[in-house]
Amino acid sequence: MKVTDLVNDLGFAPICMPDPEREIHGCYIGDLLSWVMGRAQADNLWITIMSNVNTVAVASLADVSAVLLAENVTLEESIVQTAELKGVNILSTSLSAYEAAVKLSGAL
Amino acid sequence: MSDHLNFHFTVDGDNFVSAGQASVQVKKNLRELGLSPDVIRKVSIAMYEGEINMVIHAHGGTADVNVYEDRIEIILDDEGPGIKDVELALQEGYSTASDSVRSLGFGAGMGLPNMKRYSDDMRIDTTVGVGTKITMTIRL
Ligand SMILES: Nc1ncnc2c1ncn2[C@@H]1O[C@H](COP(=O)(O)OP(=O)(O)OP(=O)(O)O)[C@@H](O)[C@H]1O
Ligand SMILES: [Mg+2]
Is A50 in contact with B107 (Cβ distance < 8 A)? no
Is B24 in contact with A35 (Cβ distance < 8 A)? no
For residue B20, list chain A residues with Cβ-Cβ distance below 8 A. 54, 57-58, 61
Q: Is A77 helix (H, G, I), strand (E, B) or coil?
A: helix
- Would you state the pLDDT for residue B102? 94
Q: How many helices (H) and strands (E) does chain A have?
A: 5, 5
Please tell me the total count of domains within chain B. Answer: 1
**Least CB–CB distance from A42: residue in B23, B27, B41:** B41
Q: Which of B11, B16, B53 to mutate to test the pocket of ligand 1 (most atoms within 8 A of CB)?
A: B53
Q: How many inter-chain contacts (A to B, CB under 8 Å) are there?
A: 75
User: Helical H runs in B1-140?
Assistant: 21-32, 37-58, 86-89, 99-102, 111-118
Burial A28-67 (b: 16+ CB within 10 A, else e): bbbbbbbbbbbebeeebbbbbbbbbbbbbbbbbbbbbbbb
One digit per residue, pLDDT tens: chain B, 140 residues?
A: 468 999 999 999 978 777 899 999 999 999 999 999 999 999 999 999 999 999 999 999 999 999 999 999 999 999 999 999 999 999 999 999 999 999 999 999 999 999 999 999 999 999 999 999 999 999 99
Q: First vs last Cα of chain A: how many Å apart? A: 6
CB B84 within 8 A of CB B131: no
ipTM value, please give it.
Answer: 0.89
- Would you state the pLDDT for residue B2? 63
pLDDT in tens, B49-71: 999 999 999 999 999 999 999 99
Does the beta carbon of B108 sit less than 6 angstroms from any atom of ligand 1?
yes
In terms of residue numbers, what domain contains A77?
A: 3-107
How much of chain B exceeds pLDDT 70, in percent? 99
- Would you state the pLDDT for residue B19? 84
What CATH number did the domain enclosing B113 receive? Answer: 3.30.565.10
Please tell me the total count of domains within chain A. Answer: 1
Strands B60-67 and B5-12: antiparallel
CB B132 within 8 A of CB B124: yes
In terms of residue numbers, what domain contains B26?
A: 5-139
Instruction: Tell me how crowded residue B45 is: count the other CB atoms within 10 A of its CB.
Output: 25
